[in-house]
Amino acid sequence: MNKKIWLSLAHMSGREQDFIKEAFDTNWVVPLGPNVNGFEADLEKYIGQNKYVVALSAGTAALHLALVMLGVKAGDEVICQSFTFAASANPITYLGATPVFVDSERDTWNIDPQLLEQAIVDRKAKTGKYPKVIIPVHLYGMPAKMDEIMTIATRYNIPVLEDAAEALGSKYKGQYCGTFGNYGVLSFNGNKMITTSGGGALITPTEEAKKRVMFYATQARENAPHYQHEEIGYNYRMSNICAGIGRGQMYVLDEHIARRREIHALYTELLKDVKGITVMQRPSDEYDSNFWLTCILIDSKITGFDREDLRIKMDEAQIETRPLWKPMHLQPVFANAPMYVNGVSEALFNDGLCLPSGPMCTDDDIRRVVEVISSYK
């Protein structure tokens, strides 16, 4: 039997255990400590732009706290890219606010700037107030059209919360994703660019904002000898053990990015003559994607098989693939949410498949995946 080819497995540098051992040896087995501080400093140095980073228990926690910092309250509306994972939208509901879903454009598969502006104007006409926050997502590592998004956000004075969970290391016009908006979110889930087993981080604009986020992430405990609480807080801080994994992973981050880009290039080359199969590409050199996952679109009229046919065939061949994200405006849980759609994300969901792209994938693994596609009968 062929070995299983996984979609995106974690890959260790070998340095992780050194930081974990140090934490155990010094008894820093708590949600703070030298590894947490060091991991935050490593990330701040990496992304630049004079940003400050708070390491948290999950990317979802980072989204939640960013919305808290931006003053989102019950009854507010928050614009969110529809074509994304549910974690981009769920924290909006934690605060009693309403997500307003906006569809994608074809170039990057991310939020459509024209549709975004239409949504802003229409929500003001319908509710009497502008949405509180805009959440663009850099899907599959591909940067969104941040110049246009930020211009619109500035025009209507709406803060931007970038979901860069899949885009660590991706750049738009030479600047790292997650550093354009008021806040940015990173994820270190097991299948992301680097992992902390589970975890995330919030990119903040100032040291003062970082301290405030840390306050909310540690149960909003006031500065008093006893436990004094004047605001609602959360238990969202990253553990020192998980941060130790993250510190070790930073040694191979650039290597992981390079490998995923090599995998994308190999898929592109091997599939270029397969009719009806299109590998997702960046619109121009300005969009420097990390290619977290390589995605293809299947034109069933040409291939004779659709996305689900191919997914099942891959599964039979011991190859893990995944449909593209089902848009949030099509999810039953958000059936009543306002939406501004153009059919792009629904078409991408129907026709698209994510292929194995992790750094553990060998060139032979990629060729095996392509063989299943090219020989489909």
Q: Note whether 290 and 222 are same-domain residues.
A: no
Whether residues 208 and 328 share a domain: the answer is: no
**pLDDT averaged over every residue in the chain:** 96
Q: What is the largest CA-CA distance in the chain?
A: 71
Mean pLDDT within 28-40? 85
- Provide the phi-psi class of 140: left if phi over 0, else alpha when psi is between -120 and 50, else beta: left
Q: What are the φ/ψ torsions at residue 93 (nearest 5 degrees)?
A: -75, -25
3 found inside a domain: no
Encode pLDDT of 108-123 as tens digits.
999 999 999 999 999 9
Tell me which of 252, 267, 287 is where a domain ends. Answer: 252
pTM for this prediction? 0.96
Domain co-membership, 231 together with 307: no
CA distance 96 to 281: 38
Distance, in Å, from the CA atom of 10 to the CA atom of 287, rounded to the nearest integer, reads 25
Q: Is residue 4 part of a domain?
A: no
Domain shared by 260 and 199, yes or no: no
Look at the chain and report how many structural domains it folds into.
2
Domain final residue, candidates 224, 252, 280? 252
Task: Give the domain range for residue 341.
Answer: 253-374
**Strands 77-81 and 98-102, how do they pair?**
parallel
pLDDT score, position 31? 74
And the tokens for 264? 């994308």
CATH of the domain at 325: 3.90.1150.10
Indicate if 58 and 199 belong to the same structural domain: yes
- Tokens for 377? 């009968």
Structure tokens at 261: 């880009």
Q: In sequence order, what are the residues at sequence separation of 6 or more whose Cβ sits closer than 8 angstroms to the Cβ of residue 306?
A: 298, 300, 350, 351
| Residue 83 predicted with pLDDT over 80 | yes
Helices (H), the chain: 16-25, 34-47, 59-69, 90-94, 113-127, 146-155, 207-217, 240-249, 253-271, 300-303, 307-316, 344-351, 363-374
CATH number, residue 123: 3.40.640.10
362 vs 353: CA distance, rounded Å: 19
**pLDDT band at 25; cut points 50, 70, 90:** confident
Do residues 242 and 216 share a domain? yes
Q: How far apart are CA 28 and CA 133, in angstroms?
A: 37
Q: Output the pLDDT for position 152.
A: 98
Judge contact between 146 and 171, C-beta under 8 A: no
Residue 149 has pLDDT above 70, yes or no: yes
Residue 5 lies in a domain: no
Going by pLDDT thresholds of 50, 70 and 90, the confidence category of residue 32 is: confident
Q: Does residue 6 fall inside a structural domain? A: no
pLDDT at 29 over 90: no
Q: Are residues 154 and 266 in the same domain?
A: no
Indicate the DSSP class of residue 87.
G
Q: Quick one: average pLDDT of 316-330?
A: 98
